[in-house]
Amino acid sequence: MKILFVRHGESIDDIEDRYGGWADFDLTEKGKSQITVSAQKISELDEKFGMIYTSPLKRAHQAADLISNQLNIKVEILELLKERNLNGILTGMIRSEAKIKYPDQVRKHQNYEYVDGSETEEEMIERVRKAKELILGMKYTSIIAVTHGLFMKTFFKEMMNINISKVLDGAYILIEGENNIFNILKTEGIEFK
């Protein structure tokens, strides 16, 4: 099976300096443009994708719709593809305001400690494993999964022991897997450690 993971483009939280995670912000015009460029490159991969699965968060779903329009492929929501809820009670807040309202939580976030209401690393890993099993059990031989940076980093670390240092807006990575062994076929906008 081939899976093309795509990260959404720039979203409103990026330009308003807000904590993202599970906050549900739209793509910016720049983000839409980034995905349009990625969709064109994806169409040139010469792959016959059977379905696009997307995180339910607006920025990913809007990206999936743009790719769908380019490739004429149906889109379905897959809850498991959501971003990691790393920010907990800080989710959606402007960072400077969060420092005033929740200084202890901001400090914890900066020190990579648990923030109240957030998703633990173990919970995220379990969700990624469930997503992998669900995807591998699908009837398609080739799919697109529109998701988020931390989801992609967790997937590749846990499933392929590959460390990704950076996932640019609109980045993608195509993998092929059989019997739980995956190989990378093509990347765009992904930096490895």
Strands (DSSP E) along 24-117, which ranges? Answer: 51-54, 75-77
pLDDT tens digits, 42-93: 999 989 999 999 999 999 999 999 999 999 999 999 999 999 999 999 999 9
Exposure of 95 by Cβ count < 10 A (0-12 exposed, 13-18 middle, 19+ buried)?
middle
Mean pLDDT of all residues in the chain? 96
Distance, CA of 24 to CA of 148 (rounded, Å): 12
Provide the pairing of β-strand 51-54 with 75-77. Answer: parallel
Whether 42 and 135 map to the same domain: the answer is yes
Whether 102 and 138 map to the same domain: the answer is no
How would you label 1-32 residue by residue, b for 16+ Cβ within 10 Å and e otherwise? Answer: bbbbbbbbbbbbbbeeebbbbbbbbebbeebb
In a domain, 21, yes or no: no
pLDDT band, very low/low/confident/very high, at 119 (cuts 50, 70, 90): very high
Based on the fold, state whether residues 76 and 105 are members of the same structural domain. Answer: no
Domain carrying residue 178: 2-16+27-84+120-192
Same domain, residue pair 96 and 64: no
Q: Could you report the per-residue pLDDT of 120-148, keeping only the tens digit for each?
A: 999 999 999 999 999 988 999 999 999 99
**Of the residues 10, 47, 83, 119, which is catalytic?**
83
pLDDT in the model for residue 46 = 87
* Confidence at residue 179, expressed as pLDDT on a 0 to 100 scale: 80
Tell me, yes or no, if 83 is annotated catalytic: yes
Catalytic residue among 8, 61, 109, 148: 8
Whether 93 and 75 map to the same domain: the answer is no
CA-wise closest residue to 73 among 48, 97, 55? 48
pLDDT of residue 163: 96
Looking at the fold, whether 63 and 99 belong to one and the same domain comes out as no
Q: Do 3 and 145 touch, CB atoms closer than 8 A?
A: yes
* 127 lies in the same domain as 57: yes
* CA–CA distances in Å: residue 160 to residues 5, 13, 153, 185: 14, 30, 10, 13
Does residue 139 share a domain with residue 182? Answer: yes
> In the chain, what's the furthest Cα-to-Cα distance?
51
130 and 99 assigned to the same domain? no
Note whether 10 and 95 are same-domain residues.
no
**Same domain for 107 and 163?**
no
